[in-house]
Chain A
Amino acid sequence: MPEFKFDNALVLSARPLGERTYKVSLLTDALGRHAGVVRGKKMPATAGLFSGRWQARLGEQTGHFYGEETAMPAAPFLEDAARLKCLLCLCGLLDAVLPERHPHPELYGAVMDWIAGLGTADFLMRYVRLELLILSAVGFGLDMSCCAGGGDACDLAYISPKTGRSVSRDKGRRYDDRLLALPAFLWRDAPATPRDIRDGLKLTAYFFIHKGGYKLPKIREQLLDKAALSL
């Protein structure tokens, strides 16, 4: 009987299946996004951490998760709208874009690091970087190693929407209306202004929607709100 054990899997989504059964989608360290059925009185909370094991009669079946919620990282932030929205958006995004049962240990680690640092002031900046990593995990990684037009690699300012490669400020200026803005914090160690965050979110959204064909969580639009960025 196929079975695997996991610790601290992130609950990406949960919905009632019957009266006391829930269809749950988890982000696990070993098998990436994994769905299963949980039985119990209480539906596992989105963005909670769940530890236990998955078991099914056959490998291709949905199977059941047996275990318990071990932590609720969102608990300290229930009064913090911006962080809650960001966390909800992350869970919705991972649930929407990640293929099932495909290991992404690096992404899992990055997500856990981001959650651990949710209380820091730069959580939105790190969130945009995390979206870049998610893009990369689903096969749409952006190339920010050099200027695609042969320009200065130390002054990258744009991304080509066609190729996903970076373009320097000098070479891209003429095509400003056709290129996507690349905020500096995404390719080098630099601080981020609210405008940079907005540009970063627009950049990743473009590739998720137009290249990946994904539907982004509606709550993501609110991350662009002025209020969220005025932190």
Chain B
Amino acid sequence: MSAPEIETLIALLSKLPTLGPRSARRAVLHLLNRKESQFVPLIAALQEVADKIKPCAVCGNMDTSDPCSICRDERRGKAQICVVQDVADLWALERAGMYRGRYHVLGGVLSALDGVGPDELKIPALVERVAAGGIAEIILALPATIEGQTTAHYVADKLADFPVQISTLSRGVPMGGELDYLDDGTLQLAFSARKKIGG
């Protein structure tokens, strides 16, 4: 049995994704054994992030400034908004580095199970951004699940009266994917979205 402070730390860490009580205990022990080199810098980093990070009032991204660095970046296109489910998706697209427009984080997708309806998502804020003008395209980068696509249709309905082009990401065979291993649904989508090659 360790000190109550350590037990509290273990209990808090064990609530993090991928960590259970055992791995949290190992992580705490690891940090205690490397107090100066890892524990203290970690505390400082956690404190700094907790103090400075806030959600962007424009797009919903997490950043140290509001509006976030993406919304303030004048080099990024203002005419395109990529709509994503959550910040993790925004980070994934930023990692890929091929999109140079702005984002809008919905904060989830419509879900029958969790009782997430349109009111719980940041759809009105998106409509406001589009209504303010200057937007030419909305890219719906939502999951290819029934919940994700229902949300995409709902957003498209809400934006139907605005003169903007609404597009979604393509669905089908992933890079390195072998047809033999793909499920029927993905194959069907890939087949229906086939493209002409060459001339």
Contact = CB atoms under 8 A, between A and B. Distances in A.
Contacts of A12: 113
17 contacts: A18-B17, A18-B18, A46-B145, A69-B183, A72-B184, A72-B186, A73-B185, A75-B184, A75-B188, A81-B153, A81-B154, A81-B157, A88-B146, A95-B112, A218-B116, A219-B117, A227-B157
Contacts of A78: 144, 146, 149, 171, 189
Contact of B183 (A71, A93, A221): A71
A72 B18 CA distance: 28
B112 A91 contact: yes
Given A89-B112, A92-B111, 11 more contacts: A12-B113, A15-B114, A18-B20, A45-B145, A46-B147, A71-B184, A73-B185, A79-B149, A81-B157, A217-B112, A218-B115
A74 B185 contact: yes
Interface string A38-75: 00000001111000000000000000000001111111
Contacts of B112: 13, 88-89, 91-93, 95, 217-220
Contacts of B18: 18-19
B90 interface: no
Chain A interface main SS type:
mixed
B160 to A, nearest CB: 10
Interface residues of A, number: 37
B150 A47 contact: no
Instruction: Report the contact-size class of chain B (Cβ under 8 Å from the partner).
Output: 20 to 34
Nearest to B20: A18
Interface in B126-147: 144-147
A84 B152 CA distance: 11
A154 B91 CA distance: 62
Contacts of B192: 76
Interface of A: 12-13, 15, 18-19, 45-48, 69-76, 78-79, 81, 84-85, 87-89, 91-93, 95, 215, 217-222, 227
Contacts of B71: none
A17 to B, nearest CB: 10
A95 B147 CA distance: 15
Contacts of A227: 157
B150 A84 contact: yes
9 tightest Cβ-Cβ pairs between the two chains A and B: A92-B112, A72-B185, A75-B185, A81-B153, A217-B112, A218-B117, A19-B18, A13-B113, A84-B150
